[in-house]
Structures are given as structure tokens and as C-alpha cells.
């Protein structure tokens, strides 16, 4: 018998509440199955299990359980280790599937031969709002009903949209403040910044987007993210976790992408193996992640295993940003908005598109020399956008 524990869905999480079980005693589960919907101060999260066996016992619905509390007991399959577990180590194996193929919420099928497909979070939200699923057309993969479809159906009915009871902006702000205070108290930060010539990337992006439909176009964020992911391959000291007095480098580059929520607050779920995705795959993953983060359809693995964080302020943001490291990570890379500025090229002052990049890093793991190497590598990658 093995215990499946309440996962830590971020350094600022203390408790979670099981609002829906997607399995029952006697059901067979395998690693990666979504078994529950857990509400935290950041919204509803689809929780995946990492045990192979048969469900024996489930925790009661509605109780606020601390991180590490027993969610379920599983009779493990022959040959599988017993004991207690939440999720495996944050760094995923090299053969893991690219993010765009597994980023969406797990789909439940109901009904007869032409079964309606509904994500767990969408089913929960429909129950909260009183939205009938029958006859509802889904916009997700294979026509699956998503949270966006539920909210749209609610709006179409003319009733005011309700915020999930779990999302309290004041509570989220309090949790973020606690995590960032811990970070500044425990992590010896150092900061570096550099201004990078973004002209080659800007021109390449214009050419790429010119004859493509809006849904196929790339944003600057995709290039910045891919350049960062590739740079981290060469400087792995910034990609990993510092826990129990030592640093463990990630075996995969799982970038936490900082997303501002419409109701206030911030969340940074992971894009898995970002260095291995093409630019269109990265763009699709970003769009999907932002949509689900704001609608409440993230998975536990996306919340628990980022190995580094990137924050990009976008075209309406400030010129630069200096981040605070999200423990137990050891670095955060920030990008301001892309601007036109005077730039010297071959002794001549010309107008160029530039972006200011910053690094906040943990001095227990790295130093300014390595930090400068990382920023130079990002800059070099941006000068050859066609190879990203």
C-alpha cells in the first residue's frame, strides 16, 4: 500500500481542498492520470497521480488539507515501490512528450457511442454555474468542452459570471508576499542586466507573420523563450532546484512562464522541455497555458515542476524588470518591452529594436561570470532567429 500525498503546487501553497474526485475506490490508475481537482488560492488544479495500482481509499471532499497530507491510498502494482509519494523529481526524463501534446486538461468521456468530452475543471465549473453540458459545443481538442466554453455559455445565457470561490485576490497576494519574503530572506540574490539587439529577431518575425493567419503568427515572447531555453542548455547551473542545502540540476528545461491573472495576482506554470519545441509549438503551448491559467484548468505537473522562471512584460510593459527568485528555483530571467533606440553599428548611430534582459540568480549556486555567460548566450541566439 502506498500513500499519495497532497502535492506542493508552488512555494506559496500551504493547503489545498479536494473539490472533485475523478476516481473511486477500486479504480486502476497509472502515472500521469488526473485523479482529482484541487482548489488552492490560485484556482482549480487538475492533480495527476504518479503511482501504478488500484485506488483503495480517498480523502474526504471539502476539507482543507496541508501539503503532504494523504490524498489517497493505492494498492501498488506488482513490482512497483510502496511507501509515500507525491510527484517525481521535478526534472523529467529526456524522452518526455513535447509540451503541446500533453498540456491540455485530461478529458473525461460520458454517454454513448458519440460521447461528449469534458475536461474535469470544465465539469466542475459547469456544476458551480448551473450550466448544462448537454448540447454544448466544445472548442478544445476533438471537440472537448473546456472552461472557456463554460464561461461563454454562462455569458450567453445573460447571467453574471461568478469567480471560483477558491480565487481570492487578497489571499493570493498574501501568499505571493510570503513566498517572495522567504525568497529574499533565504536566497542571496545577485542581479545582472544587458541590452540586446533585437533587430534581426524583429525583422524575421515580421517576415514570418506577414502571410500567416492570426492563429499561426508568433509573438516576440516565443523567440525570447526559445533563446533562453537554448542558452540554459549550455549553463545548467541556472536550471534546477536548491533544496536541503544542495543544488540539483534539472534533466529537462521546464520553464515557468509568469502569467498575470485578470483578477490580480501572478502564476508561473511550466512549459515542459521548452528547448526541444519548435517556435510554432512553443507559441501554441504559450497560448494554451495562458488560456488555462486564467480560466482555471492547469495540471499539477505544470505547477510543481518548473526548473526556472521567465517573465516577459510584453509590448505594454516596462522597459526592464528585475525579478525575485521563486524558491526552490535558483534563477529568474526577465525581459522588458521591445523598443527602438539609438544603436552603434559599424561606427554609425542607427535606430535598432532592442530589449533589456535581466537575470536574478542564487549566489549559492552561481556567480556573475556564469550569469554573464547566460545572458551572452541568449543574445547570440536572438541574432540567428531562423535557427531557433
pLDDT tens for 33-91 read 889 988 887 777 889 998 999 999 999 988 889 999 999 999 997 765 555 555 544 44
Residue carrying the nine cell digits 503551448: 285
Residue-level pLDDT at 89? 43
113 or 131: which carries more pLDDT confidence? 131
- Provide the pLDDT for residue 119: 67
Model pLDDT, residue 96: 33
Name all contacts of 380-383 with Cβ < 8 Å and 24+ positions apart.
381/226, 381/227, 381/230, 381/231, 382/196, 382/197, 382/198, 382/200, 382/201, 382/223, 382/224, 382/227, 383/197, 383/200, 383/201
pLDDT at site 21: 92
Query: Which pLDDT value is given to residue 113?
Result: 36
Q: Domains of the chain by range and CATH?
A: 2-88 (2.40.50.100), 171-387 (3.30.559.10)
pLDDT of residue 8: 85
C-alpha closest to that of 300 among 96, 80, 10: 10
Q: 75: exposed, middle or buried (C-beta count within 10 Å: 0-12, 13-18, 19+)?
A: middle
Per the model's pLDDT, the better-predicted residue between 333 and 303 turns out to be 333
Do 76 and 53 meet the contact criterion of CB atoms below 8 Å apart? yes
In this prediction, residue 339 has a pLDDT band, given cuts at 50, 70 and 90, of: very high
pLDDT exceeds cutoff 60 at 163? no
Poorest-pLDDT segment among 70-74, 120-124, 306-310: 120-124
**Which parts of 235-367 fold into alpha helices (H)?**
279-295, 300-304
Q: Show the cell assigned to 104.
A: 491540455
Mean pLDDT taken over the chain: 83
The residue with cell 468542452 is: 145
User: Averaged over 211-232, what is the pLDDT?
Assistant: 95
pLDDT of residue 118: 73
Which pLDDT belongs to residue 158? 54
Q: In the prediction, which pLDDT does 315 show? A: 77
Q: Per-residue confidence at 98, pLDDT binned at 50, 70, 90?
A: very low
Mean pLDDT of 123-136: 69
What is the band of 148 on the pLDDT scale with cuts at 50, 70, 90? low
Tell me how far the alpha carbon of residue 172 is from its chain's centroid. 17
pLDDT digits (tens, 9 = 90+) for 243-302: 999 999 998 999 999 998 877 778 899 999 999 999 999 999 999 998 888 877 788 888
Q: Are 311 and 323 in contact (CB under 8 A)?
A: yes
Return the pLDDT at 283. Answer: 94
pLDDT band of residue 111 (cuts 50, 70, 90) is very low
What's the pLDDT at 92? 39
Band of the pLDDT at 142, cuts 50, 70, 90?
A: low
97 falls in which pLDDT band (50, 70, 90)? very low
Q: What is the 3-state secondary structure (H, E, C) of 157-203?
A: CCCCCCCCCCCCHHHHHHHHHHHHHHHHHHCCEEEEEEEEECHHHHH
pLDDT (mean) for 82-104: 42
The stretch 176-181 carries a mean pLDDT of 87
pLDDT (tens digit, 9 = 90+) per residue, 350-383? 999 999 999 999 999 999 999 999 999 999 999 9
Cα 217 to chain centroid distance, Å, stands at 21
Q: For position 313, what pLDDT does the model report?
A: 85
Maximum average pLDDT range among 83-97, 149-163, 203-217: 203-217
Please state which of the ranges 104-118, 147-161, 255-269 shows the lowest mean pLDDT.
104-118
* pLDDT at position 278: 95
Q: In the chain, what percentage of residues exceed pLDDT 70?
A: 81
Mean pLDDT of 168-173: 76
Amino acid at each position: 500500500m502506498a500513500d499519495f500525498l497532497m502535492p506542493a503546487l508552488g512555494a506559496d501553497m500551504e493547503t489545498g481542498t479536494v473539490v472533485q474526485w475523478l476516481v473511486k475506490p477500486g479504480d486502476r490508475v497509472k502515472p500521469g492520470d488526473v485523479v482529482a481537482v484541487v482548489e488552492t488560492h490560485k484556482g482549480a488544479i487538475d492533480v495527476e497521480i504518479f503511482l501504478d495500482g488500484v485506488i483503495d481509499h480517498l480523502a474526504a471532499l471539502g476539507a482543507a488539507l496541508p501539503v503532504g497530507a494523504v490524498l489517497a491510498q493505492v494498492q501498488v502494482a506488482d513490482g512497483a515501490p510502496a511507501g509515500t509519494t507525491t510527484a517525481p523529481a521535478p526534472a523529467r526524463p529526456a524522452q518526455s512528450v513535447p509540451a503541446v501534446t500533453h498540456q491540455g486538461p485530461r478529458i473525461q468521456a460520458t454517454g454513448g457511442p458519440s460521447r461528449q468530452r469534458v475536461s474535469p475543471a470544465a465539469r466542475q465549473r459547469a456544476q458551480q454555474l448551473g450550466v448544462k453540458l448537454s448540447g454544448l459545443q466544445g472548442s478544445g481538442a476533438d471537440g472537448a468542452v473546456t472552461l472557456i466554453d463554460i464561461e461563454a455559455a454562462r455569458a450567453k445565457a445573460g447571467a453574471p459570471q461568478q469567480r471560483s470561490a477558491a480565487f481570492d485576490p487578497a489571499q493570493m497576494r498574501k501568499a505571493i508576499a510570503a513566498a517572495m519574503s522567504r525568497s529574499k530572506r533565504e536566497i542571496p540574490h545577485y542581479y545582472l542586466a544587458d541590452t540586446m539587439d533585437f533587430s534581426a529577431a524583429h525583422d524575421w518575425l515580421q517576415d514570418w507573420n506577414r502571410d500567416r493567419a492570426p492563429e499561426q503568427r508568433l509573438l516576440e515572447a516565443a523567440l525570447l523563450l526559445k533563446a533562453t531555453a537554448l542558452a540554459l542548455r549550455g549553463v545548467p547551473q541556472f536550471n534546477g532546484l536548491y533544496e536541503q542545502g544542495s543544488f540539483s540540476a534539472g534533466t529537462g528545461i521546464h520553464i515557468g512562464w509568469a502569467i498575470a491573472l485578470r483578477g490580480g495576482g501572478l502564476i508561473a506554470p511550466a512549459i515542459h522541455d521548452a528547448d526541444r519545441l519548435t517556435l510554432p509549438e512553443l507559441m501554441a503551448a504559450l497560448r494554451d497555458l495562458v488560456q488555462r491559467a486564467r480560466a482555471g484548468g492547469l495540471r499539477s505537473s505544470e505547477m510543481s515542476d518548473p526548473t526556472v522562471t521567465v517573465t516577459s512584460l510584453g509590448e505594454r510593459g516596462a522597459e526592464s524588470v528585475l525579478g525575485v527568485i521563486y524558491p526552490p528555483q535558483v534563477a529568474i530571467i526577465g525581459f522588458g518591452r521591445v523598443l527602438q533606440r539609438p544603436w552603434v553599428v559599424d561606427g554609425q548611430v542607427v535606430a535598432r529594436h532592442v530589449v533589456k534582459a535581466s537575470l536574478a540568480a542564487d549566489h549559492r549556486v552561481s556567480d556573475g561570470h556564469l550569469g554573464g555567460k547566460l545572458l551572452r548566450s541568449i543574445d547570440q541566439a536572438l541574432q540567428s532567429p531562423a535557427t531557433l
